Amino acid sequence: MDISEFIDPEKGLIRGEIFHNKEIYDQELEQVFARSWCFLAHDSMIPDSGDFIQNYIGEDPVLVVRQKDGSVKAFLNQCRHRGMRICRAERGNTSNFMCSFHGWNYGLDGEVIHIPHEKEIYDNLDPEVFRATQVRLANYKGFIFGTWDETVADFEEYMGDFAWYFDAYIDRFEGGMEVVGVHKWVLPANWKFNAEQPASDMYHGEVSHASAFQVMMPISEEDGAPPPWVMQQLGVLSEPAGFQFSAPNGHGTGWFKGGMPLMDETIMNWHQSTREEVSERLGEERFDLAGHANIFPNFMMLSNYTFRVTHPRGPDEMEIWAWSMAPKNASAEVKDAIRLDILRTFSPAGMFEQDDAVNWEEEQRIMRGHMARQKPLIYQQMIGQARYDADGLPGKTVDHVYAEEAARGMYQHYADLMSGKPWPELEKIKKAREQKERDEIAARASPAPKTAAGGGQ
Amino acid sequence: MNKPTRVPHLFRRPEQLAPADVPMETAYQLEQFLYAEAELLDAWQFNDWLALMAPDVHYWAPVRENRLAREAEQEMYPPGTAAHFDENFKMLGQRVARLYTHMSWSESPASRTRHLISNVRAHVTDNPDEFRVQSSFHVYRTSSERHQDSVIGRRYDLLRRADNDYGFQIADRTVVFDMSMLLVKNLSSFY
Ligand code: FES
Ligand SMILES: [Fe+2]
């Protein structure tokens, strides 16, 4: 199905059809999820030989397993015999996986190692054919991503300039990150809402999350007023300034100048105390450079160390799998403060998260309407304002934290993939598109004569 | 977090499986307290509900997982790890206050809830004023035009006699939801 009529990234217009249509959804499983790098696990989730977790690429369950030699392998959690789920636990430790239908037994690497009555009933068994379907893996600083696609670029190249921004979330500290909590839940809404929002929509916070900001703001016991450090945080919110970054492969991130507001004093004090260490590691300019982000298609993160995949479950349902992480070398007190902060803000019972759910639920419900899917929705914030490699920020950014550049970029990439064009061709198209945009920006900036093509307004 | 300490599974602790041993009158008082608590929640009297919490209350709801049969004892995350709620009195107070901001959009317009409480069983403790009380709940909810869901589970409470209208305070509550992945859009109520 040609979806290009629903998406016009240049004008910032997108029709609700892409959130509603079942045919489009099925096409996404094939063209988006099966052709992208998807987050599967973090090293700390499977530290020991035989440790495994199950995750998904789209609707396909994948077992991610620590091997005896310390490496990681991943394979489709589907028995080659009749397609039963090989392992029905979501996490654990094992020496092998036995399919509980007819008893085929798979090793930690997905090779079939035992088939009941094999000698009598199979002529000659080709291990290639019987092996569970393997996933191509990449490990970026402890974060394990997988793809079925042999033609998509290596993960670091796939991230492109976003890697520099990603590091501001995950590579702030020596020793890396570890998992301190997990939540999984179901929302009656399209997966793209929870990809687009962390990539691009900081704008909703002050209204959608007004109640949470109001009640979580610490006040001093004496005069009931917020202490100075809180006032400083609120200042960030009342005069929002910051940036948004958009990658050609659909990744996006945004952050406030001066950092995301923090409402927990333990975390605030710790965060400030790490300024020197983080600046030394990443450069001063990246200390405050975390807010929210999404690695296309569905791995989102927040500066509070929430990391999630949003699994598609039909056009009108998503599963959110969210891990709370903390710097491994932080004190026990700080780790626990981070764990509590996330469960009280961005978990299904979290005071921020509850209110996001209701937005997406209502959006989805309304998309059932005919008229609701006719007029395009407006994604035009900061349109035409993009710059490249400006303000010391690699790649394409806009100079405001409230912007929709990253949403436009995400849907451009989404449309590219949905066109079904092979990756090598898409890469050429993206390069040409970027060059054209760079030229236009340069032409606008240079004091050329009025007749210059592509001149300013 | 990957290696939860080996604690007996919450559902299978001998002291909780033991026959109830409070006198009939006490059992009646404890039950009536739980019903009153439920009624306050369904009536949106959250400040009155909060007043039923002891100042040292701990309100905790662990996350559960699908585990292999031989790892079944670890299907619930232990204290200090993955949880849906892990609250002291002040934290619960923030959640209550949020509901009265009229901007807590998940509950504005308010959902309609019914807390059904059953299977109440109570045990005495070393402290004559404190009782361990287990109860099952079914929280039915509708919201917006046509959303409806149910959250079902069991609670393990420590109830303490108190000088208030309802006779007790909740000193400790563990809420166990009968779900691994939560099949609801959020947990915007109290359980
Ligand atoms: S389906 Fe797995 S052994 Fe038959
Ligand atoms: Fe939000």
A187 inside 8 A of chain B by CB: yes
Q: Give the number of domains in chain B.
A: 1
Chain A positions touching B61 (Cβ under 8 A) are 349
Q: Classify residue A127 as left (phi > 0), alpha (psi -120 to 50) or beta.
A: alpha
Both tokens of A107, joined, read 């090793």
Q: Which of B16, B12, B120, B23 is nearest to B72 (CA)?
A: B12
pLDDT for res A149: 98
Contact criterion met (CB below 8 Å) for A381 and A231:
no
Average pLDDT, chain A: 95
- Using a 6 Å cutoff on CB, does residue A82 contact ligand 1? yes
A269 falls within a domain: yes
**A49-58, A189-198, A217-226, B115-124: which has the minimum mean pLDDT?**
A217-226
Lowest average pLDDT, out of A18-22, A124-128, B107-111, B166-170, goes to A124-128
Chain-centre distance for alpha carbon B84: 11
Specify if B140 maps to a domain. yes
In this prediction, residue B7 carries a pLDDT of 63
* Angstrom distance (rounded) from CA A296 to CA B189: 33
In a domain, B147, yes or no: yes
Closest alpha carbon within chain A to B99: A211
Closest among A320, A282, A306, A286 to A177, alpha carbons compared: A306
pLDDT tens, residue by residue, A120-143 = 999 988 999 999 999 999 999 999
- The answer to whether residue B3 sits within a structural domain is no
Helices (H), A256-385: 265-273, 275-282, 332-345, 353-366
pLDDT on residue A280:
97
* Bridge partners for B170 per DSSP: B53, B159
- At residue A452, does pLDDT exceed 70? no
For A184, the closest of B61, B181, B186 (CB atoms) is: B181
> Distance from CA of residue A280 to its chain's centroid?
27
Q: CA torsion A437→A441→A443→A445, rounded to 10°? A: 180
Q: What is the pLDDT of residue A457?
A: 42
pLDDT range class, residue A239, cuts 50, 70, 90: confident
Residue A28 lies in a domain: no
Tell me the shortest Cα–Cα distance from A437 to chain B, in angstroms. Answer: 40
Instruction: Count Cβ atoms within 10 A of the Cβ of residue B128 and give its class: 0-12 exposed, 13-18 middle, 19 or more buried.
Output: exposed
- Residue A152: inside a domain, yes or no? no
Centre of ligand 1 to C-alpha A87, Å, is: 11
Residue A149 counted as domain residue: no
**Residues A380/A12, Cβ–Cβ less than 8 Å:** yes
Is residue A360 domain-shared with residue A242, that is, in the same domain? yes
| Residue B184 domain flag | no
Same domain, A110 and A193: no
Structural domain that includes position B160: 10-177
Give the separation between CA A276 and CA A95, rounded to whole angstroms: 44
Q: In the structure, what pLDDT confidence band is assigned to residue A450 with cuts at 50, 70 and 90?
A: low
Structure tokens at B103: 């901007």
Can you tell me the mean pLDDT for B65-75? 93
Q: How confident is the model at residue B109 (pLDDT cuts 50, 70, 90)?
A: very high
Q: Cα separations (Å) of A381 from A13, A79, A224, A236, A399?
A: 11, 48, 38, 20, 11
- Taking an 8 Å cut-off on Cβ atoms, the answer to whether B98 and A185 are in contact is no
Q: Are residues A337 and A250 in the same domain?
A: yes
As to burial, measured by CB atoms within 10 angstroms (0-12 exposed, 13-18 middle, 19+ buried), residue A293 is buried
User: Residue A28's pLDDT is what?
Assistant: 98
Whether residue A185 lies inside any domain: the answer is yes
Instruction: Tell me what pLDDT residue A456 has.
Output: 43
Tens-digit pLDDT profile for residues A307-318: 999 999 999 999
**Residue B114 belongs to what H/E stretch?**
strand B112-124
The neighbour count for residue A13, using CB atoms within 10 Å, is 17
**Closest chain A residue to the Cα of B66, Cα to Cα:** A89
Asked if residue B187 belongs to a domain, the reply is: no
Residue type (1 letter), A23: E
- Among A11-25, A227-241, A279-293, B75-89, the minimum mean pLDDT is found in A227-241
Residues A300 and A405 both lie in one domain: yes
Residue A455 confidence class, pLDDT cut points 50, 70, 90 = very low
By the CB < 8 Å criterion, does A219 face chain B?
no
If we measure between CA atoms, which residue out of A57, A265, A384, A284 comes closest to residue B90? A265
* Cα–Cα distance, A168 to A293 (Å, whole number): 11
End position of a domain, from candidates A140, A175, A194: A140
CATH number at residue B94: 3.10.450.50
**Reported confidence tier of residue A335, pLDDT bands at 50, 70, 90:** very high
Which residue has the CA at smallest separation from atom 3 of ligand 1?
A102
What mean pLDDT do residues B137-149 have? 95
Q: How far is residue A54's CA from residue A267's CA, in Å, rounded to a whole number?
A: 31
Position A436 pLDDT exceeds 90: yes
pLDDT for A230: 82
Report the side by side order of strands in the sheet with A97-98. Answer: A97-98, A105-106, A112-114
| A134 and A164 both lie in a single domain | no
Q: Per the domain annotation, does B126 fall within a domain? A: yes
Decide: A81 in ligand 1 pocket, CB within 6 A. Answer: yes
Distance CA A37, CA A159 (A): 9
Q: Which one has a higher pLDDT value, A453 or B181?
A: B181
Instruction: Answer whether B54 touches A (CB < 8 Å).
Output: no
Burial of B185 (0-12, 13-18, 19+ CB in 10 A): buried
Tell me whether B106 touches chain A (CB under 8 Å): yes
When pLDDT is cut at 50, 70 and 90, the band that residue A218 belongs to is confident
Q: Which domain, by its residues, includes A111? A: 37-140
User: Considering the domain boundaries, does residue B90 fall inside one?
Assistant: yes
Task: Examine the domain organization and report whether A354 and A388 are in the same domain.
Answer: yes
Per-residue pLDDT tens digits for A143-171:
999 999 999 999 999 999 999 999 999 99
Partner residue opposite B101 with nearest CB, options A88, A185, A211 = A211
Give per-residue pLDDT as tens, A358-405.
999 999 999 999 999 999 999 999 999 999 999 999 999 999 999 999
- Residues A59, A93: contact at Cβ < 8 Å? no
For A242-283, what is each residue's pLDDT tens digit?
999 999 999 999 999 988 888 899 999 999 999 999 999 999
Please give the share of chain A, as a percent, with pLDDT higher than 90.
89
CATH number of residue A119's parent domain: 2.102.10.10
Strand-by-strand arrangement of the A252-256 sheet: A177-187, A318-327, A306-312, A299-302, A292-295, A252-256, A242-246, A396-398, A387-388
Percent of chain A surpassing pLDDT 70: 98
Residue whose token pair is 């009933």: A121
Say if strands A252-256 and B147-161 run parallel, antiparallel, or are unpaired.
unpaired
B56 within a domain of the structure (yes/no)? yes
Give me the numbers of helices (H) and strands (E) for chain B, helices first please: 4, 6
> Would A17 be classed as within a structural domain?
no
In A225-244, the residues whose Cβ lies within 8 Å of chain B are none
Report the alpha-carbon distance of residue A61 to residue A54 in Å, rounded.
Answer: 7
Contact A319, A30 (CB under 8 A): no
Domain count, chain A: 2
Q: What pTM value is reported for the model?
A: 0.95
